[in-house]
């Protein structure tokens, strides 16, 4: 079983739509969680950390469910610029990456 | 604050040759990581330095890969001799704390022909 699993997508959504996707992790002792964004042929960039109570940053909301071992990312009011691959990253002192979820926002 | 810098940005070498990648982490970041993404696969951990010490090198694929971080500042990753399957993008990242987010460099795209 992979350490971090994500739905690869792609999620094709119109501008203004809401899109949400999950990521599951296998190590119950994992301590911290992040969502990174990666644009084509670029380096991953931190989108947001995920805290146990859930957190929001503008149009982005991240949730952590330790009991079921998953984190989620929700994007409200999608913009064209949100088109990217979203990487779920789990830190158990060796960061493990999911393969990424591709989101394409169309006009 | 300067970010993580990697050099070169691209490298094309022939099978059997040697290549050395360099990473300069953010100043003051003790934790330095090397990751690799091969075509169509997820980003995979290679190794982790804390200062000059190798904390975890469980992701290094084989003994053709050698990473160093002398003095706890910049790091190098040498591939010798390179094989076709070593092609991919090699990312370096640094962090201030073990549980903190990583800051990535732009990556080195390595092509072995």
pLDDT tens for residues A12-54?
999 999 999 999 999 888 888 999 999 988 889 999 999 887 8
Q: Which residue has the higher pLDDT, B90 or B1?
A: B90
Task: Please give the Cα distance from B8 to A71 (Å, whole number).
Answer: 35
Q: How confident is the model at residue A1 (pLDDT cuts 50, 70, 90)?
A: low
Instruction: For residues A59-79, give the mean pLDDT.
Output: 95
Q: Does A45 touch chain B (CB under 8 A)?
A: yes
Residue of B nearest to A39 (CA): B106
Does residue A60 carry a pLDDT above 90? yes
- Residue A8 pLDDT class (50, 70, 90 cuts): confident
pLDDT score recorded for residue A34:
93
Residues of B in Cβ contact (< 8 Å) with A93: 56, 98-99
**Candidates B42, B48, B104; nearest CB to A94:** B48
What's the rounded mean pLDDT across residues B85-99?
Answer: 92
pLDDT value of residue B1: 62
In contact, A25 and A69? CB cutoff 8 Å: yes
Q: What mean pLDDT value characterizes chain A?
A: 91
Is B45's CB within 8 Å of A96's CB? yes
pLDDT for B8 equals 97
User: Token digits for B71?
Assistant: 């003095």
In this predicted structure, what is the pLDDT of residue A53? Answer: 79
**pLDDT category of residue A9 using cuts at 50, 70 and 90:** confident
Chain B residues in contact with A49 by the CB 8 A cut-off are 101
Of A2-6, A93-97, B10-14, B31-35, the range with the lowest mean pLDDT is A93-97
- pLDDT score for B100: 77
Q: Which residues of B touch A97 (CB under 8 A)?
A: 35, 42-45
CB of A62 closer than 8 Å to CB of A73: yes
Q: Using the predicted structure, report yes or no on whether residue A82 has a pLDDT greater than 70.
A: yes
Q: Which chain B positions have a beta carbon within 8 Å of A34's beta carbon?
A: 101
Sign of the torsion angle spanned by Cα atoms A77, A79, A83, A87:
negative
Mean pLDDT of B34-39: 92
pLDDT exceeds cutoff 80 at B99: no
Element (H, E) at A55: strand A55-57
Across the interface, of A31, A49, A93, the residue whose CB is closest to B101 is A49
pLDDT at A98 over 70: yes
> Using CA atoms in the order A5, A10, A14, A19, what is the torsion angle rounded to 10 degrees?
-10
| Interatomic CA distance for residues B33 and B48, integer angstroms | 4
* CB of B22 closer than 8 Å to CB of B69: no
């Amino acid at each position: 079983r992979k350490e971090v699993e994500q739905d690869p997508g792609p999620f094709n959504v119109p501008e203004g739509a809401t899109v949400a996707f999950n990521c599951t992790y296998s190590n119950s002792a994992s301590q911290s969680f992040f969502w990174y964004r990666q644009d084509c042929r670029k380096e991953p960039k931190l989108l947001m950390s995920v805290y146990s109570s859930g957190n929001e940053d503008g149009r982005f909301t991240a949730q952590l469910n330790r009991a079921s071992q998953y984190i989620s990312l929700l994007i409200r009011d999608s913009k064209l610029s949100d088109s990217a691959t979203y990487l779920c990253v789990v830190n158990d002192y060796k960061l493990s990456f999911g393969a990424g979820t591709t989101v394409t926002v169309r006009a | 604050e300067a970010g993580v810098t990697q050099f070169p940005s691209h490298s094309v070498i022939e099978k059997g040759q040697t290549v050395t990648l360099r990473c300069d982490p953010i100043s003051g970041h003790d934790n330095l990581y090397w990751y690799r993404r091969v075509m169509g696969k997820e980003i995979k951990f290679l190794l982790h330095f804390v200062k000059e010490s190798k904390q975890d090198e469980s992701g290094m694929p084989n003994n053709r890969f050698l990473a160093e971080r002398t003095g706890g500042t910049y790091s190098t990753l040498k591939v010798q001799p390179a094989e076709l399957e070593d092609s991919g993008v090699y990312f370096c990242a640094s962090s201030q704390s073990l549980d903190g987010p990583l800051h990535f460099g732009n990556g080195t795209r390595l092509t072995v022909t």
